[in-house]
Amino acid sequence: MLRRLFSIRCLLAVLVVCVGVLMVSAPAQAAVDSYVAQYLRVTEPISLDLNGQGETRQFSAKDLSAGKQLFEQHCMNCHVGGSTLPDPMVSLSLNTLAGATPPRDNINALVAFLRQPMTYDGSEETFWCRQVPESWMQSEQVEKLAAFVLRAAQKAPGWGKDTFER
């Protein structure tokens, strides 16, 4: 009887430890969006072009997941799947971002655009895209948002295109 009671206590102790480990590790895994891992192919930190002059910055899967969440909250109404609903000819594809004036195919350029949105040819302010002042979104948040857009433009199937590719 004593041996059985001891085995049940050991089993309960092991169960409590296992549940504790799962609860501690689950938030870290939950912080990475499955879209980021599967379609953007980010599980380890990646380097993204910071300024078009060879400098890069590391972004983790968690950073890109935070950027995706910001994109979904603030940008997806007009930019679902990397398209641009107010102007379908100007998507968020990598080629289109690179062809803008000034180019918007690096982190700093996308941040500058979000802080002061300009038309595609850079000739005037645009009101199609909301201005994102520092009082609304801190630099770190805007950079994560820009990193998500840039990585999606690089890797997401169908991003900014009128047909879906796999």
Reported as a single tens digit per residue, the pLDDT across 25-55 is 334 445 899 999 999 999 999 999 999 999 9
* CATH architecture observed for domain 31-155: Orthogonal Bundle (1.10)
Report pLDDT for 88. 87
- Reported as a pLDDT band with limits 50, 70 and 90, residue 86 is confident
- Reported as a pLDDT band with limits 50, 70 and 90, residue 83 is very high
Q: Which of 32, 129, 1 is nearest to 75 (CA)?
A: 129
User: Distance between CA 20 and CA 133 in Å, rounded?
Assistant: 41
Q: Tokens at residue 124, please?
A: 């005037």
Least confident piece of the model among 96-100, 126-130, 134-138, 155-159: 126-130
Q: Is the pLDDT of residue 166 over 90?
A: no
Report pLDDT for 35. 96
Contact by Cβ (8 Å): 139, 111: yes
Q: Which of 127, 156, 152, 138 is nearest to 71 (CA)?
A: 152
CA triplet 51, 56, 62: central angle to 5 degrees?
115
Higher pLDDT, 105 or 8: 105
Report pLDDT for 109. 98
Least confident piece of the model among 23-32, 48-57, 86-95, 115-124: 23-32
Query: Domain segments of the chain: what residues?
Result: 1-29, 31-155
Q: Which residues, in sequence order, are bridge partners of residue 125?
A: 118
The one-letter code for the residue type at 129 is C
Q: Which residues, in sequence order, are bridge partners of residue 46?
A: 59
Report pLDDT for 4. 54
Query: What's the per-residue H, E or C state across the chain?
Result: CHHHHHHHHHHHHHHHHHHHHHHHHHHHHHCCCHHHHHCCCCCCCEEEECCCCCCEEEECHHHHHHHHHHHHHHCHHHHHHHCCCCCCCCCCCHHHHHHCCCCCCCHHHHHHHHHCCECCCCCCECCCCCCCCCCCCCHHHHHHHHHHHHHHHHHCCCCCCCCCCC
Report pLDDT for 7. 55
